[in-house]
Chains A and B, each alone.
Chain A
Amino acid sequence: MASLAVKMRGITKVFNGVNANDHVDFDLRKGSIHGLLGENGAGKTTLMNVLYGLYQPEEGTIAINGRTAEISSPTKAIALGIGMVHQHFMLARPLTVVENVMLSRKSRRGIFLDTKETARELRELSDRYRMGIDPYSKIWQLSVGEQQRVEILSAIYLGAEILILDEPTAVLTPQETEIFFDTLREMRDDGKSIILITHKLEEILSIVDEVTVLRLGKLIGAKAVDETITKDDLTRMMVGREVLFHFPPLTRDPGDIRFRLDGISAMNDKGLVALKDFSLELREGEIVGLAGVDGNGQKELCEVMTGLRPSVAGKMTLDGEDVTNHEPAFYIQKRISHIPEDRHATGLALNWSLKNNLILKSFARPPINRNHLVQTKKVEENWLQAEKDYQILAIDGDEQVRCLSGGNQQKVILARELNCEPSVLIANQPTRGLDVGAAEYVRTRIINARNRGCACFVVSADLEEILQLSDRIAVIYGGRLMGILPRGSDPLEIGALMMGKGLEEKLEERELEQQNIH
């Protein structure tokens, strides 16, 4: 057995009397990619923050490369060759890549900056791992994927031999993920040790050499990943029970057309065309999934359908009535529910209490409101009902939504959006960032809504999710509808459409040019 880069023994970390880590052991072999798997709240990030010196454990020892180490601060961790890339990037957005890297260490030229030298070295490193990062580009101009590469580049440049990556693929498209994994493999072959915090099983199976599973702060087990390990094995370790991956298809025929988009076009925030001549029909009691790589107009489409963004051409009808370009309140009144992509800024008022978030769209209407006064008692009843129906875990209804976990926050949104008996449900990335258990719950709820006759529209960059849920699968690329496929279609065919197969050569070239410009 190769030597251990990291050896953690009996790590215990307590928050408010709760063991976030409870005597956890963790071993990282040198030159391997190690998956750290667990649901949200399982203590993965806590364990890694201990390793990175952000938290001091109450108990336990850490040895780096066989030597016992007191890691009292991130500075110490960096000196020991440990680098960490957080889920939320720690980059100064107005500065360039090289300036960001230089923030972390002293200049070699005394009081002068060594920008040129650093930039050259960064470029060499970037070329070596084919990251394609220009040291002089400003952070805010980079895509999320590129920013992540900058973080990794910077960690390696600062001498990291042990790299901790916290849910790195949460922000990446499937394509970016593939490229990213190639980079990781090359780094591993260069002798670096990598820890991948994740709750995505596919990732564990595709890239990881070994996996450690945590549940509720406790170590469940560590295993080498080979062909014998299946998704079900990992799930059972992670969740402690079987999880549904297959949902029942539609048992009856879908009803009438409820919502119809006819040649809708719309601009994005930069004023460029984001949706082009998009037509789609949603029928009563069916789920239409929209597959597509992130940023191909899905967000704009959902916004047009709920009045948050005007369409510049085309027509929308609801039950035959023209509903093009009204105010958001109009669509709410028509019982078109919307689970937005951006939970934090759009879907929730983070500083508001739980029970007020549940009435975000209904505080002006009876029964919550009587004689222009919000009825406190009704609000409380509404909360207690939602808490029970949606299994929202919180101390009480007065707790700020900010304090809840992602899964619970999404349950609050679900409770609100499904409680009004929606006629149409528009769910944009409804399970992004959720752990397996919570995602399963959300999907079951969407299926239930469909079974009650709601016309559901599920947008997801996760093809797996689309395949599981959809009765029909629409594919979007470059703001255009590429085709509509039935349930059970070949994922490869969908994937090809997601990449824009079938669009005329010319169009494709033009798209590429545009992408190159930006």
Chain B
Amino acid sequence: MSNRTSIKVALEIVGTVLMVVGALLIGAVLVVLSENNPIEAYQAMIAGAFGSKQKIAEVVVKLIPILIMSLGVSIAFKAQLWNIGAGGQFLMGSIVSVAIALYVPVPIWLRIPLSFAAAIVVGAGWAALAGWLKARFSANEVITTLMLNYIAHYLLLYLINGPMQDPYSDLSQTDVIPDGMRLTKLLGPTFRLHSGLFIMIAVVVLMIFFWRTTLGYRIDLTGQGEKVATYSGINVNRTVILTMGLSGGLIGLAGWIEIFGIQFRLLDGIAGGLGNTATIVALLGSLNVYGVIAAAIFFSALLCGGASMKRMTDVPYSVVDVIQGLIIIFVIAKNVVWDRCDPMKLFSKKKGYSQHAE
């Protein structure tokens, strides 16, 4: 890596950190407005995220789906495909996992790999559907993935209130999956941390190499523009569908892990805000694997810490939502500001580096 590139990377990191600090500062103002002490609030937040072994384990539990999903989202984003349907793809993955785990009449040991594969395939299909609509009819993927989110959500509601509802309960939920199928608890029964962690690590390792593979290059180049991609011999339509499929596949996998590691059943709200969080994390991490890892850790800590801040102080949880929202605004603003004033220029002394001197 050359000198200039490292400066660029350093600037990127500084910018991102500044944004996060900015968001936290404005969050602090809100805490003051709600007549609380911001220092106490943030202390509670940090303690809530990292205060004990239990708390750290909880952050990791949160991290597993968030990181896998953000990496999935970032694949699509890299190709300039704005897949904001992570929530829906996650739900489809979860639904098919539970369906297979509960109903398919094969031995339990066989249901695990079967549901694992099915969750990936269905998540991939759900996203690839939006990709196909774009390739075939130029349908905007922002709209289609968003709409598919609703379909997935209402399908879930129908299933947990109808055919898949637990017959021994009045609650809107399915039966739990058998004990023997659940992911192993890594730190004993009092901790929720499960062996899905290893899947996450595997995904991260794969993603580090992914952007150097032929397929990674193809996806990246497709994001540079349809014309140049076609000119370079890429079938853009095929790549669009494939990219969405890969993106959705990872997100579907996150659904499987969440079912087999944490939830064990389907119920409403299972996706929580995971879909949106994954989108924000991907952007905050600049679609870069390491950036996304850092952003995912930050967000997992923010969410866990926020929950315990609410319990320990009078500060409402909505502060966490506000911080999330501010970060989105800052991400967008940063790109604009960085483009305008181009901090690279401060470091560039070599002759000839000037776009204006023509």
B-binding residues in A (CB < 8 A): 15-18, 20, 40-41, 43-46, 49, 55, 217, 306, 308, 327-329, 331-333, 338, 340, 342, 345-352, 356, 360-361, 363-364, 369, 372-374, 376, 393, 395-399, 403, 405
**Cβ-defined contact, A352 with B224, below 8 A:** yes
The answer to whether the Cβ of B221 comes within 8 Å of any Cβ in the partner chain is yes
- A361-B232 CB under 8 A given contacts A46-B356, A349-B225, A398-B5: yes
Cross-interface CB contact of B228 among A43, A349, A376, A403, cutoff 8 Å: A349
A40, A372, A373, A398: which contacts B358 (Cβ < 8 A)?
A40
Q: Which residue of A lies closest to B344 (CB)?
A: A403
User: Cβ of A372 and Cβ of B213 under 8 Å apart?
Assistant: yes
Roughly how many angstroms separate A403 CA and B348 CA in the complex, as a whole number? 12
**B349: A residues at CB distance < 8 A:** 16-17
- Which residues of B are in contact with A by a Cβ distance under 8 Å? 1-2, 4-5, 209, 212-215, 217-218, 220-221, 224-225, 227-228, 230-235, 345, 348-358
Q: A360-B221, A361-B232 are in contact. Are A43 and B214 (CB under 8 A)?
A: no
B109 to chain A, nearest CB (A): 32
**10 closest A-B pairs by CB:** A329-B233, A349-B224, A20-B357, A15-B354, A332-B233, A346-B227, A360-B232, A364-B214, A345-B227, A363-B217
B357 partner, pick from A18, A347, A348, A373, beta carbons under 8 A: A18
- Inter-chain CA distance A43–B235, complex, in Å, is 42
Count: A-B pairs, CB below 8 Å: 111
Residues of A within 8 A of B212 (CB): 373-374, 376
A residues within 8 A CB of B225? Answer: 345, 349
Chain A residues with CB under 8 Å of B224's CB are: 349-352
Complex alpha-carbon distance, A288 and B40, angstroms: 78
Task: Give Cα A213 to B225, complex, Å.
Answer: 38
Give bound CA distance, A350 to B225, whole Å: 9
User: A329: which of B234, B351, B352, B358 is its contact (CB, 8 Å)?
Assistant: B234
**B216: nearest residue on chain A (CB-CB)?**
A374
Q: Which residues of A contact B218 (CB under 8 A)?
A: 364
B contact face: mostly helix, strand, loop, or mixed:
loop
Q: Which residues of the partner chain A approach B231 to less than 8 Å between Cβ atoms? A: 306, 308, 328, 338, 340, 346-347
The interface residues of chain B lying within 8 Å CB-to-CB of A361 are 232-233
Quote the shortest CB–CB distance from A402 to chain B (angstroms).
Answer: 8
The residues of A that contact B354 with a CB separation of less than 8 Å are 15-16, 18, 20
B238 to chain A, nearest CB (A): 10
State the CA gap A10–B277 with chains docked (Å): 57
CA distance A162 to B218 in the complex (A): 50
Contacts of A217 in B (CB 8 A): 357
Q: How near does chain A come to B79, taking the closest CB pair, in angstroms?
A: 12
| Residue from the list A55, A347, A360, A373 in contact with B213, Cβ < 8 A | A373
How long is the Cα–Cα vector from A44 to B355 in the complex, in angstroms? 13
The answer to whether A15 and B357 touch (CB under 8 A), given A363-B217, A364-B214, A374-B213, is yes
Q: Which of the residues B4, B215, B227, B358 comes within 8 Å of A41, measured between beta carbons?
A: B358
Contact of A374 among B217, B352, B358 (CB under 8 A): B217
Partner of A393, one of B221, B352, B355: B352
Query: In the complex, are the beta carbons of A16 and B233 less than 8 A apart?
Result: no
Q: Kindly list chain A residues whose C-beta atoms are within 8 Å of the C-beta of B355.
A: 403
Chain B residues with CB under 8 Å of A396's CB are 2, 4-5
A328 to B239, CA, bound (A): 14
Contact B230 A308 (CB under 8 A): yes
Q: Which residues of B contact A369 (CB under 8 A)?
A: 214
Minimum C-beta distance from B195 to chain A (A) = 29
Enumerate 10 A-B pairs (CB-CB under 8 Å) in ascending A order: A20-B357, A46-B358, A49-B356, A308-B231, A328-B231, A329-B234, A345-B225, A361-B232, A363-B217, A376-B212
If A347-B228, A348-B228, A399-B4 touch, does A41 touch B221 (CB 8 Å cutoff)? Answer: no
Chain B: which residue is nearest A330 at the CB level? B233
In the complex, A464→B30 CA distance in Å?
Answer: 69
Cα(A333)–Cα(B232), bound, Å: 11
Kindly list chain B residues whose C-beta atoms are within 8 Å of the C-beta of A329. 233-235
Given A328-B230, A338-B231, A396-B5, 19 more A-B residue pairs with CB atoms under 8 Å apart are A16-B354, A18-B351, A18-B353, A18-B357, A327-B235, A328-B233, A329-B235, A347-B228, A347-B231, A349-B221, A349-B225, A352-B220, A352-B224, A363-B217, A372-B213, A372-B214, A372-B215, A396-B2, A403-B353
Given contacts A20-B356, A40-B358, A329-B234, contact A360 B2 (CB under 8 A): no
How many Å from the CB of A350 to the closest CB on chain B?
Answer: 7
Q: Which of A15, A44, A308, A348 has the most CB of B within 10 A?
A: A15
B221-A342 in contact (CB<8A): no
Across the two chains, which residue of chain B brings its CB closest to A356? B217
Give the docked Cα–Cα distance between A376 and B211 (Å).
12
Instruction: List chain B residues, Cβ under 8 A from A348.
Output: 228
Is A16 a contact of B345 with CB atoms below 8 Å? yes
Nearest A-chain residue to B224, judged by Cβ: A349
Q: In this complex, what residue of B is CB-closest to A17?
A: B349
In the complex, the answer to whether A16 meets B348 with C-beta atoms within 8 Å is yes
B7 to chain A, nearest CB (A): 11
Residues of A within 8 A of B234 (CB): 328-329
CB pair A45 B227 closer than 8 Å: no
Q: Are A398 and B357 in contact (CB under 8 A)?
A: no
Closest to B355 in A: A403
Specify which of B217, B227, B352 is in contact with A18 (CB 8 Å cutoff). Answer: B352
The smallest C-beta distance from A281 to any residue of chain B, in angstroms, reads 25
From A332, A364, A376, name the one whose CB has the most chain B CB atoms within 10 angstroms: A364
- Chain A nearest CB, measured from B98 CB (Å): 35
Q: Which residues of A contact B209 (CB under 8 A)?
A: 373
CB nearest neighbor in A for B218: A364
Q: Is the CB of A46 within 8 A of B357?
A: yes
Contacts of B233 in A (CB 8 A): 327-329, 331-333, 361
Closest Cβ of chain B to A201, distance in Å, is: 18
- CB B47 to nearest CB in A, in angstroms, measures 42
Question: Which residues on the B side are within 8 Å of A399 (C-beta)?
Answer: 4
A45 to B357, CA, bound (A): 7
Task: Decide if B214 touches A346 in the complex (CB within 8 Å).
Answer: no
Q: Which residues of B contact A16 (CB under 8 A)?
A: 345, 348-349, 353-354
Chain A, residue nearest B349 (CB): A17
Complex Cα–Cα for A306 and B232 (A): 11
Residue of B nearest to A331 (CB): B233
With A327-B233, A361-B233, A372-B213 given, is the CB distance from A342 to B357 under 8 Å?
no
Given contacts A16-B345, A376-B212, A396-B2, contact A364 B217 (CB under 8 A): yes
Q: Roughly how many angstroms separate A396 CA and B231 CA in the complex, as a whole number?
A: 25
The distance from the CB of B206 to the nearest CB of chain A, in whole angstroms, is 12
- Per the bound structure, the CA–CA distance linking A338 and B228 in Å amounts to 12
- Specify which of B1, B212, B349, B357 lies most central, judged by the most chain A CB atoms within 10 Å of its CB: B357
Q: A349-B221, A396-B4 known; A360 and B228 CB under 8 Å? A: yes
Give complex CA distance A217, B351 in Å.
12
Interface hub of A43, A360, A369, A376 (most chain B Cβ within 10 A): A360
- In the complex, what residue of chain B is closest to A306 when comparing beta carbons? B231
A306 to chain B, nearest CB (A): 8
Q: How far does the alpha carbon of A376 sit from the alpha carbon of B357 in the complex, in Å?
A: 33
Looking at the assembled complex, report how far the CB atom of A334 sits from the nearest CB atom of chain B, in whole angstroms: 11
Measured in the bound complex, the distance between the Cα atoms of B215 and A350 in whole Å is 20
B338 CB, nearest partner CB in chain A, Å:
13
Task: Kindly name the residue among B214, B345, B350 whose own CB sees the greatest number of chain A CB atoms within 10 A.
Answer: B214
A41 / chain B contacts, CB cutoff of 8 Å: 352, 357-358
Nearest Cβ distance between residue B50 and chain A, in whole angstroms? 37
Which residue in chain B gives the minimum CB-CB distance to A38? B358
Contacts of A347 in B (CB 8 A): 228, 231
